[in-house]
Amino acid sequence: SLDADRLSVDTTCYGRVALAGTVNSWAEHDEAVAAAWSTPGVTEVDDQIVVAYSRAGNEAGGRIAGLLPHEPP
């Protein structure tokens, strides 16, 4: 579930919304961006959200990355 307290939302004229802050997953990131786009009158979303993975997520990502083919230097 998205923790809105970790995000800032700034609006400007002409329907521009700027999102910033940190979330714990891409699902939370996508939820925040989708919420911004679904707001009536929004014409642009400036996405500056950072996805901060947990240590467990980083370890899993490292294992997955190790399975992917690498191009030679």
13-58 per-position pLDDT tens digit: 899 999 999 999 899 999 999 999 999 999 999 999 999 976 555 5
Q: What is the pTM of this model?
A: 0.69
Look at residue 61 and tell me whether its pLDDT is greater than 90: no
* Phi, psi (rounded to 5 degrees) for 44: -150, 140
Residues 50 and 19: beta-carbon distance below 8 Å: no
In sequence order, the 6+-apart residues with CB closer than 8 A to the CB of 17 are: 9, 10, 11, 36, 39, 42, 44, 45, 46
Confidence of residue 6 (pLDDT cuts 50, 70, 90): confident
In the chain the first and final C-alpha atoms are separated, in Å, by 41
